Structure formats: structure tokens, C-alpha cells
Amino acid sequence: MKRAFDIAVSLVGLLVLWPFLLALGLAVRLDSPGPAIHWSSRVGRDNRLFRMPKFRTMRTDTPDVATHLLENPERWVTPLGRFLRRTSLDELPQLWSVLAGDMSLVGPRPALYNQDDLVALRTEAGVARLRPGVTGWAQINGRDELPIPEKVRLDREYLDRMSLAFDVRIILATALAAVSGRGVSH
């Protein structure tokens, strides 16, 4: 049921939003040099790597590490990138990853390939068996503000409570958080 829901929502989302996605991509290209989409190596289900698309919000010469590990992260974020990150619009290309089966609409946010501490804790907690999500329980409960052990605790709680109704609740809460920009530190 979860996979059917993911396919239906991502397909409808891509069909309805394609003009908006095209406009955002053009805006990213006009805002700063480089491609509109940034593809990053992420850890997916069963700790397999996959390429995840996002609208590019940072300069092309940004080191490939988690934003919180950058010295002075604001230095690397593009002017439009600040808005895209605050509203989570940079995540919309991930609907393609949901349709392709690399991601789910709801699940733990995919770790960067080099976030060994997060991957190890998720594996230990049994969370690695889930498809990563465009949004998740940890996302709506703190986002960038949460320490890694707390993210993993919330990811495990999601695994234990997982249901279609819970996913819908998380998606609605995500929409509210995106509108308010709550929980984004960079």
C-alpha cells in the first residue's frame, strides 16, 4: 500500500508541478552559475548508494559534506538557495526518486554517503531497511536542529509506528513546516 501511495502521489505531483519545477530550475540557473539540479550520493534502503536530485542551493565549489559541517555555511548558499531551503522547495525533484523507487514520500531523510556516524546508528536501530523519505518524522520534529542520536531515535519511532495514516499526518505537518520555514538553520 505504501509503495502504491508513493507512486500515485509522486506521479500526480510531477504531472501537476512540471511547469513550476521548470520555472524553479530556470530561476536557479539565473541566480548563480552551474546546473539547476544537484545530484548527490546518498545512502538508501539497505545502505545502498543512489543519486538523489535537489534544486541546487549552494555554489558549485561547495565541499561535499553535510551543511552543518561547513565552516560558515551561509558563505556557500546562493541567494535563491536560502529561500528554496527555508521552504523545502529544493526537495521537489526528489519526487522523481520516489517514482523510480529509490525513495519514499515519508521515511528517514537520506544520509550523505560520508555520514558514517548516522549510517551506523541507523543500521544498528534497524532503520536502514526503510526507503529514505522526501520528508520524515525527524524532519517535522526538529529538522537541522536535532543531534544525530535524536534523529535516529525518531527514525526508529517512525519505523515502529509506520502506517498510511501516519504518513499522511507527516506530509501535512511537513507542508505546514515548509510554509513557516521552521527548523532550517542554513
Are the beta carbons of 42 and 110 closer than 8 angstroms? yes
Give the mean pLDDT per block of 10 residues along the chain (186 residues). 96 96 97 94 97 94 76 86 91 96 97 93 97 95 86 97 96 84 52
Q: CA 155 to CA 161: how far, in whole Å? A: 10
Domain ranges of the chain: 2-180
Secondary-structure percent of the chain, ordered helix, strand, coil, rounded to 5: 60, 15, 30
pLDDT at 32: 92
Q: CA 166 to CA 169: how far, in whole Å? A: 5
Q: CA 150 to CA 49: how far, in whole Å? A: 23
pLDDT at 182: 57
Q: CA 146 to CA 152: how far, in whole Å? A: 10
pLDDT at 186: 46
pLDDT at 178: 73
SS3 state of residue 155:
helix
- Residue that has been written with the C-alpha cell 548527490 in this structure: 40
Q: How many residues does the chain have?
A: 186
